[in-house]
Amino acid sequence: MKKAFLLYFSLLMISMGSFAQCPDPGYKSFDNKEWKVGDMIILQDILYSIGGGNHVLPESRDLIKQLADFLKAHPSLTIEVGNHTDSRGSAAYNENLSLKRSESLKYELTVKYEIDESRITAKGYGESQLRVSDEEVAKAASDQEKEELHQCNRRTVITITGL
């Protein structure tokens, strides 16, 4: 039990850390006033149960509420909830895991926040779109830095698919 708590706490602290090392391809924020199809918002801090779990953790509720409020404020928008993993594990496993996590977030939005499910498409990308390559991770000086780089790859991306 103590080891499980320490692992969870370590992952939580890493996930709440700075993502200054993560490349930023021009993601938008909920504060933007104008939107077009293809615009993306990165939700780096949506956390799921560890060990391959797909349940959204309570620490993520505020961010999910922010997403739900955004969707309610823009009732004509449709989105894709895309989930990404790091490269540890097989490609097939990671693709399946990321899809389950996207579906879990979609479920949360449609059931808890009553967002029409037709507005949300769940997509799992697995490790197919890494922000930090395995080569870059391997060059990291410490295990903590490696974990931070892996965390850059674990993310949820909201993509505007319709206006």
Sheet-wide strand order for 120-126: 40-43, 155-162, 78-84, 120-126
Average pLDDT over residues 1-23: 44
Domain ranges of the chain: 2-162
Residue 67 confidence (pLDDT): 96
Average pLDDT over residues 124-153: 91
Domain 2-162, second-level architecture:
2-Layer Sandwich (3.30)
Residue 11 confidence (pLDDT): 42
**Average pLDDT score over the chain:** 85
H or E segment and range at residue 71: helix 61-73
Residue 113 confidence (pLDDT): 97
pLDDT confidence bin for 80, thresholds 50/70/90: very high
Residue 17 has pLDDT above 70, yes or no: no
pLDDT confidence bin for 23, thresholds 50/70/90: low
Residues 92, 100 contacting (CB under 8 angstroms): no
Tell me the Cα Rg of the chain: 16
Average pLDDT over residues 20-27: 69
What's the first-to-final CA gap in the chain, in angstroms?
48
β-pairing, 155-162 vs 40-43, is: antiparallel
State the angle between helix axes of 143-153 and 2-16 in degrees (0 to 180), rounded to the nearest 10. Answer: 70
Work out the percent of the chain whose per-residue pLDDT is above 90.
Answer: 60
Residue 53 confidence (pLDDT): 73
